[in-house]
Amino acid sequence: MSVIELYILSDTVSTILLKVFLSCATMRHRGDIMEFKRARTVQQIEERRQEIINACADLFDNGDIDDVHFKAIGEKTSFGRSTIYKYYSTKEEILLDLLLLDVIGWIEDLNVFTEKYDRLSKEDFCKEFAGAYAKNDRLLRLMSILYSIIEKNCSLEKLADFKKSLIGFMEPVFMCVKKFFPKASDEAIQTFISTSSSYILGLYPETHISDKQKKAIEMSGFSFERGGFENMSYTGFLILASVLDSDS
C-alpha cells in the first residue's frame, strides 16, 4: 500500500470516528441537544414549564410522590433532567404549581353550581360544596401532604409566590359562599372557608387508607367503619356552615 493510499485511509477512518463521536454525543442525552435550542420567548418558557408539570402529573396520578423525581420527569419530556433544573429546584416546587392548577379546576366546579342555582338551602349548598371537592381527587391528595411534605422542600421565594397565588384564588370561593349566604358576615365566610379546608386536610387521608392500614386495624381488633369521603365531608361542612347563618 502506497503512502498516498495510507493517507487516504487514515483520513477516512478519522472522518468515520468523528461522525461516530458526534452521533454518540447526540444520543447520550436529549437534554444536551436542547441546550442549542434554548427557550427564549415567554411562550416557549411556559410551554416547557407546562410540559414539566404534565409529566409530573402523570407520574403522580399513576403512583405516589416517591414516583415523582427529575429523572422520571426527564424521561417524559422532550428535554432532559438538566434543563428541568432551570425551571424548578425540587420536585416539590413542581407539585406546588400542579396544585395551583388543580385549585383552578376545583374553582371551576364551584362556579358550575354557583351559576346554576339562584338559591340553595344550607343542606343543598354543603352537598354541592362536598361534591366539588370529591371531583378533584388529585387536589385532595396534594392538599393532604401540602404542609407535612411538599412545603418543607421548597425555596422561600417559591413558597411565598404559591401563597400569594392561593390567596388570589380565594376570591371566587368567597363569592360562591356569599351568594348563598348573603346575610353572613365576611368574617363568618372566611371562617367557614378556612375551617372547611382544614377539615378536608385531615379527612381525606383518613378515608383513603391503604390495604396494609386496613389489615392493621383488623388485626388490632378495633372495629371502626369509615364512611365515604363525600358523605363525611358533607356532614362536616353542615356543622361548620352553622357559622354562616349565625348572623341571620
- Give 213-228 pLDDT, tens digit per residue: 878 888 888 766 667 9
Higher pLDDT, 33 or 219: 219
For residue 173 the three cell numbers come to 370561593
For residue 179 the three cell numbers come to 351568594
pLDDT digits (tens, 9 = 90+) for 70-103: 999 999 999 988 999 999 999 999 999 999 999 9
pTM of the model: 0.79
What is the C-alpha to C-alpha distance for residues 179 and 72, in angstroms, rounded to an integer?
45
Domains and CATH numbers, the chain: 1-88 (no CATH), 89-248 (1.10.357.10)
pLDDT of residue 19: 39
36-45, 85-94, 108-117, 130-139: least confidently modelled range? 36-45
**H or E element that contains 233:** helix 229-240
C-beta separation of 136 from 99 below 8 A: no
pLDDT of residue 224: 64
Q: Identify which of 31, 145, 38 has the alpha carbon closest to the alpha carbon of residue 92.
A: 145
186-209: buried (b, 16+ CB within 10 Å) or exposed (e) per residue?
eebbbbbbebbeebbbebbeebee
What is the mean predicted confidence (pLDDT) over 193-213?
A: 90
Arithmetic mean of pLDDT over the chain:
84
CA distances from 40 to 36, 51, 54 (A): 11, 16, 21
What is the C-alpha to C-alpha distance for residues 16 and 215, in angstroms, rounded to an integer?
63
